[in-house]
């Protein structure tokens, strides 16, 4: 631990829980995240810290987080394919077996995202269609259980995968 290590000084629990690795950068007077767990950014990528669907305007050690804020650590692109969208998945958190569940995918500002794909753990029996021009699609489950849904868009990391929506099917 060094004097310039506020992550260790003030938030070692977060550092340990995320298995976060970082290096201090004197010119930014803050840390660069080099690895989280076994995940390391690729060429022209970096770990971005986002607060409420926006990139931080200050370093992570300088940002004050309030109760209810959403913090996201994600790969982002620099250069030509710069990351611009933070996907948001919305829908019901409960459903009945064999009934459609309406889902909506938007960016962080609320604009609909066309062509997003919904994934589920465990997966549904049929792959749901991509979202339409209004960012909408439906999904149906034939078996009761708890499903964890996310939205993603294959657009060369211009979009960051959505939040997790937990759906309980009875």
Q: Which residue has the higher pLDDT, 2 or 146?
A: 146
Beta pairing class for 145-152 and 165-169: antiparallel
Computed over every residue of the chain, the mean pLDDT equals 82
d(CA 90, CA 37): 28
What integer pLDDT is reported at residue 8 of this predicted model? 41
What integer pLDDT is reported at residue 112 of this predicted model? 95
Smallest CA-to-CA distance from 116 within 126, 127, 124 is with 127
pTM of the prediction?
A: 0.71
Cis peptide before 122 (omega within 30 of 0): yes
Residue pointed to by tokens 């657009």? 155
pLDDT digits (tens, 9 = 90+) for 43-60: 888 888 888 888 888 888
Residues shown for the chain: 170
Beta pairing class for 54-55 and 94-95: unpaired
User: What domains sit in the chain, N to C, each tagged with a CATH number?
Assistant: 6-77 (2.170.130.30), 85-169 (2.60.40.10)
Smallest CA-to-CA distance from 2 within 27, 24, 35, 33 is with 24
């Amino acid at each position: 631990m060094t004097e310039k290590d506020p992550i260790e000084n003030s938030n070692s629990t977060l550092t340990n829980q995320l298995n976060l690795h970082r290096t201090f950068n004197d010119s930014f007077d803050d840390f660069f995240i080099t690895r989280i767990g076994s995940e390391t950014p690729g060429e022209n990528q970096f770990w971005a810290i986002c607060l409420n669907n926006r990139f931080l305007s200050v370093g992570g050690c300088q940002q004050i987080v309030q109760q209810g804020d959403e913090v996201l650590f994600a790969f982002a692109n620099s250069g030509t394919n710069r990351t611009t969208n933070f996907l948001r998945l919305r829908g019901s958190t409960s459903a009945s077996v064999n009934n459609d569940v309406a889902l909506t995918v938007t960016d962080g500002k609320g604009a609909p995202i066309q062509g997003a794909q919904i994934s589920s753990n465990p997966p549904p029996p049929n792959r749901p269609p991509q979202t339409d021009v209004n960012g909408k699609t439906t999904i149906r489950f034939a078996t009761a259980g708890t499903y964890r849904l996310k939205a993603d868009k294959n657009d060369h990391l211009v979009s960051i995968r959505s939040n997790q929506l937990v759906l309980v099917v009875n």
